């Protein structure tokens, strides 16, 4: 009985000491070990990489010939619109991330079915149109940018909406 108590006590001490060395998440960075220049805070493991950039840039593409219209001028306009929507989708991915749903079926040690779906959902406002450019005879490219302060506002809005849903 005494050996079980010692093992339990040792395991508890090991677990608690491991917790003290874990980095703090959700916006608080764990301090780095001091160096010759002095201690600087380490970035949180959860802090997105986009917060280090002043602006986000996203580029979308669309093919002219696949647009559903007989008039070539209208096809070009539809391709411009589609490339702009694609650029907004890319911005939304950068701000909010992607939700991935994957499923793999294995039978007789062989993959029988492998499927995945990606979903992007969010609100984007304040994006600046950088350019709309034909990149070939049949493709348009649209580039948008989004200031970091707007990204922070969008994330705050998103977190507020999540909190309201939880009530």
Query: Which residue ranges make up each domain of the chain?
Result: 55-167
Of all residues in the chain, the percent with pLDDT exceeding 90 is 47
Q: What pLDDT, in 10s, does the model give residues 1-42?
A: 544 444 444 444 444 444 433 333 333 333 444 444 444 444
pLDDT of res. 21: 38
Q: What is the pLDDT of residue 161?
A: 85
Most confident of 24-33, 57-66, 113-122: 57-66
pTM: 0.63
Closest CA to 85 of 66, 121, 63, 61: 61
Residue 20's pLDDT is what? 39
pLDDT given for residue 27 in this prediction: 37
User: How far is Cα 18 from Cα 165, in angstroms, rounded to an integer?
Assistant: 35
Question: What per-residue confidence (pLDDT) applies to 102?
Answer: 93
């Amino acid at each position: 009985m005494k050996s079980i108590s010692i093992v339990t006590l040792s395991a508890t001490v090991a677990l608690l000491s491991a917790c003290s060395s874990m980095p703090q998440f959700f916006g608080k960075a764990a301090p780095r070990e001091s160096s010759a220049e002095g201690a600087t805070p380490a970035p949180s493991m959860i802090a997105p990489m986009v917060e280090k950039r002043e602006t986000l840039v996203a580029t979308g593409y669309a093919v002219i010939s696949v647009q559903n219209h007989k008039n070539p001028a209208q096809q070009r306009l539809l391709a411009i619109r589609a490339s702009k929507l694609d650029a907004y989708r890319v911005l939304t991915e950068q701000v909010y991330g992607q939700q991935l749903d994957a499923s793999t079926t294995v039978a007789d040690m062989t993959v029988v079915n492998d499927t995945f779906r990606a979903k992007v959902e969010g609100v984007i406002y304040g994006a600046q149109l950088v350019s709309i450019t034909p990149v070939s005879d049949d493709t348009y490219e649209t580039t948008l940018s989004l200031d970091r302060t707007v990204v922070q506002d969008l994330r705050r809005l998103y977190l507020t909406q999540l909190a309201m849903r939880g009530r």
